[in-house]
Amino acid sequence: MARVTVEDCIIKISNRFELTLLASQRAREISHGVTLTVARDNDKNPVVALREIADGSVGVEHLSNALIQSMQKNINNQKRKEKEENDTLLLPEIDFSSAEEEGAEDISLDEEMVEDSLNLQEDVVALEVEAESLAAEALQQGIVCDSDRNDLND
């Protein structure tokens, strides 16, 4: 059934690669509960998607736009995750202009907090460097067992 369906779809979409992408997009939509435009007849989602494309009951433009949009969401999520990871490594910026109004005591506290944050960040970096050097030294001496190597690689 699927081979005949693919041959029927080639009439609508001449590029097999594009057909594969669009049919997989439609199959994902079907698995998420979209209403079918053809009878299921005990077929799996990819076959139903191909039958819908061959029948012309689902718009190729719609599938193409949905595919592009689904890929853009992944890129945006990945960029957001990278930004969140980078933001956690950076110190928050402190606005000292409002502190002038509150008095010199508040300024000194804010400056102490910034200095403490910088010291803590330097300590973390120093500990990470020391841990990496100790791990490398242990690997050179053959002290680390296989399970520890996996932990170090993570």
Domain boundaries, the chain: 2-75, 97-153
- Euclidean distance between CA atoms 28 and 37, whole angstroms: 15
- Euclidean distance between CA atoms 89 and 12, whole angstroms: 51
Question: Residue 145 is which amino acid?
Answer: C
pTM of the model: 0.47
What burial class does residue 6 get, using C-beta atoms within 10 Å of its C-beta: 0-12 exposed, 13-18 middle, 19+ buried?
A: middle
- Euclidean distance between CA atoms 62 and 64, whole angstroms: 5
Check the CA dihedral 82-85-90-92 and report its sign: positive
pLDDT in tens, 16-55: 999 999 999 999 999 999 999 999 888 999 999 999 999 9
To the question of domain 2-75 being in CATH 3.20.20.70, the answer is: no
